[in-house]
Structure 1
């Protein structure tokens, strides 16, 4: 080190000045941290944390530094929520309205234009680490849908239980233990690594051992991506769909026993730590002010024993149109653009992220198809007081089950738990979500006026589906819409 550099380094150390940041690109970086089945009531910032056995200081700090949403809405299942995020379209349009079991055709057609494709066309580096769940064949993997690199699984973590390679956690009931499963019946699933333009390669078999260590790999690879692109001065879109706290909810061995409150609490502590690793990488690269961080969950909490999630004050479970299914944690941080400490109860839907993040990246959303997401950038940044969305239709699979508008909900089909049979109601139930968080009292008779604005939402969607027929689930590529 020459003398000038030595003096500069010493001066910086004495004044506690941070190391010079990498040259920041004109376009802002976008980091989306998506948790899997993280219920509304799990985080400290949402009334959970220590009540669930583990504080969540890193995510709570993120909420304090940005804006926290109490009426952010998702789709009732994993695949539909991820489809909505990637396309800005209600999944009923894309044939991705439900989770599909192994062996059936699944995923987004290549005709869909993903958020990664939009941002890639604007010069962004794009990466995903974790569950894709939007296509389990090679030609529908993320690296064929706009991502430069991917590490993760095509479908779901349930499949880690097929082989029951690790059943040592005595808190959990026996998981599978090879009760009739072998690879000739249902092939084992794998963790993949892929880069755009190259075939994906299998890295490891997905089982309970690799499931436990997957989020450590996700965090390490996402951090490396952030560092590489920050150093190169290239704008990036980092999509980090962690596996936690999806069932089987198992912590990394490094976290097992850490809280003393069981494996679920240990997994919650790990989830907070992994989020902190991503945030630390952004800070260490000196790009915090030029990076929009999105923290969200794709669904409400788990409904299956012994991994049930906590959904705060809301009733029901995911795979329904109850608030426990639709409302999820959602936090945004963008220093200098978003004021810290703000909380809002205005309606936002996960499809809005597509349109808004495209705007952030300077991209134009497709004009040849209906896009359901609305641009919320002015609302998110505080330039606009109210959300640009008042409501949305709530589908459970291909069933129009309810509609939300402002602080009201109209149920057409009643189903409280994913394991309950859906019941078509002879007369819709009207719920005031401000006075009846548990959705116990039908007040439609006193408030029939709400039917008009709510049915307009339904009518507009039905007219759009007639004009632009939805893609059938399982439609193969190539797909072209009917003229």
Structure 2
């Protein structure tokens, strides 16, 4: 065989091998609990999510899926690393304005793992895991910030933040963000309700923030790009995501796209096209627009002709906010976002961390199927590694367990999986074993039988002391050993 036919043969073989590896798209909505999806909740009245419902009809709907935490930052850390965030320096709460990077330099992320397997990797959306910002001399501007420092507080931390903001040279690229942790491309925001109010692309600000955010605009005080409009964030993320998919679909290598949306988290800012669409509230308008964006991303996959070889996951980072869940206007209009669960975002009850999770993979995941097994977003990394036949290092994904057998229908349960741990904004824990959920307490524990009492209204700890002891000891072992699997 001459050299040219040989090279052509090798190229075709390489392309064929790349096609065997599925593309992966993970869409993560923000502050949208289990009861915010109409296929999961019959009590949503006029609020519907037809695109997400359709996705469920094309794949598998998980009814007992959980985010690692009931708030933003820790869930994102766990999703990308396969490791509970309470093992990091952040033991409670979230990261605030101009926070330092949370993902450790040496920590393997799912994007890095996939990149090593030949994937083209992209992220479009909200990071909220901290960045390194630099001053005019090229020194770290936010090196001395504490994780508790926040603009909305009236203390020394807020003063430190204002000094940091004044010292930042916004012409210098940030580090420690998505591009430092395996993503070839990143477009989005650090987060939409804290400064700087602008987009970033591959760690560089798109424009320079030169004016202060007006008091009338939602969010923490801080610098803003002149002309910045909150209503443009979600449509821009949708446009960038669909464009990236069409571009990546033309390449020979498989791709991974992570799309952490900024909605329906505050600021509640539906675009002009969606304002008033629900007939209920701006919040419901925003949920409907979020659903439509999910539909646009899935449609881009279909239009690019890559649906059969693309694994699509939709989920959310935690439960619905208390303000939206309890809004009197919603209840008057027949929208009950606390229909089946107790609690909401930031809390340790089910409403804080039980989230929708839908997986579509044509020909591999049964269309219209439902899975009631206990799973967590922390399982994403091990599942992806299992899918590709990758053995993860011992010091990676310590709390991630593959659920691939559930997806493919090869198993209906995971008898050997570690117990699932949840965390709330104050640093409180919960641990699940089958139908049992334990919330340890300094004075008294709470134990719930979720099969009989999904709303967690009947504490049966006194009737099951041995089970309480077993779960407390398991949680302690997980904490002390540095891993749960």
Is the pair's TM-score, using the shorter chain for normalization, greater than 0.5? yes
Greater mean deviation of Cα atoms: 120-129 or 261-270: 261-270
User: Is contact 2:98–2:130 with CA below 8 Å preserved after alignment?
Assistant: no
Query: Within 5 A, what are the aligned runs for 1:41-440?
Result: 41-47=35-41, 50-51=44-45, 53-74=46-67, 75-97=69-91, 98-137=93-132, 138-154=174-190, 156-159=191-194, 188-194=196-202, 200-203=204-207, 210-304=229-323, 310-369=337-396, 371-387=398-414, 389=417, 391-397=419-425, 399-413=427-441, 424=442, 426-440=443-457
Unaligned runs of 5+ in 1: 1-21, 160-186, 414-423, 468-483
Q: Distance in 1 between matches of 2:476 and 2:204?
A: 43
Alignment gaps of 5+ in structure 2: 1-14, 133-173, 219-227, 328-335
Work out the CA distance in 2 between the residues paired with 1:354 and 1:61.
26
Instruction: Name the CA shift for 1:370/1:331 in 2 (closer, same or farther; >3 Å).
Output: closer
Partner Cα distance (1:395, 1:306) in 2: 20
Q: Assess, with a 3 A threshold, how the Cα gap between structure 1 residues 41 and 204 changes in structure 2: closer, same or farther.
A: farther
CA distance, structure 1, for counterparts of residue 433 and residue 180 of structure 2: 37
- For the aligned residues, what is the CA RMSD? 2.5
Which 10-residue stretch deviates more, 396-405 or 131-140? 396-405
Q: Secondary structure at the match of 1:328?
A: strand
Decide whether aligned partners of structure 1 residues 339 and 261 sit closer, same or farther in structure 2, where only a CA change above 3 A counts: same
Look up the match of 2:159.
none
- 1:403, distance to aligned residue in structure 2 (A): 1.7
Q: Is the 8 A contact 1:352 1:376 kept in 2?
A: yes
Corresponding residue for 1:7? none
Gap change, CA 1:55 and 1:462, over 3 Å in 2: closer
* Native 8 Å contact 1:347 1:391 kept in 2: no
Quote the Cα distance in structure 1 between the aligned partners of 2:324 and 2:52.
Answer: 26
Aligned-pair CA distance for 1:431: 0.9
Native 8 Å contact 2:123 2:185 kept in 1: yes
Distance 2:43 2:276 in 1: 17
TM-superposed deviation, 1:262: 2.4
Offset at residue 347 of structure 1 (A): 0.8
SS in 2 for 1:130: strand
The answer to whether the 8 A contact 1:38-1:301 is kept is yes
What SS does structure 2 have at the residue aligned with 1:427? coil
Aligned length: 402
Which TM-score applies when normalising by structure 1? 0.78
What SS does the aligned partner of 1:462 have?
Answer: helix
- Aligned equivalents of 1:298 and 1:79: distance in 2? 9
Which of 29, 33, 41 is 1:39 aligned to? 33
CA contact (8 A) 1:355 1:374 kept: yes
Give the Cα–Cα distance (whole angstroms) in 1 for the partners of residues 356 and 110 of structure 2. 21
- Per the alignment, in what secondary structure is the counterpart of residue 44 of structure 1? coil
Partner SS, residue 35 of structure 2:
coil
CA distance in structure 2 between the aligned counterparts of 1:361 and 1:307, rounded to whole angstroms: 43
User: Residue 474 of structure 1 aligns with which residue?
Assistant: none
- Once residues 286 and 58 of structure 1 are traced to their aligned partners in structure 2, the CA distance between those partners, rounded to angstroms, is 19
Quickly say closer, same or farther: Cα 1:362–1:210, change in 2 above 3 A. Answer: farther
Change (3 A) 1:92 1:49: same
- Please say if residues 290 and 334 of structure 1, whose CA atoms lie closer than 8 Å, have aligned partners that are also in contact: yes
- In 2, distance between residues paired with 1:239 and 1:204? 26
Question: Residues 30 and 292 of structure 1 are in contact (CA less than 8 Å); yes or no, is this contact kept in structure 2?
Answer: yes
Q: Which secondary structure does the structure 1 equivalent of 2:291 belong to?
A: helix
Cα distance per residue 1:22-72 (max 9 Å; x no partner): 987221000001000111111111115852x33211110111111111110
Contact 1:87 1:354 in 2 (8 A): yes
Give yes or no for contact 2:65–2:376 (8 Å, CA) kept in 1. Answer: yes
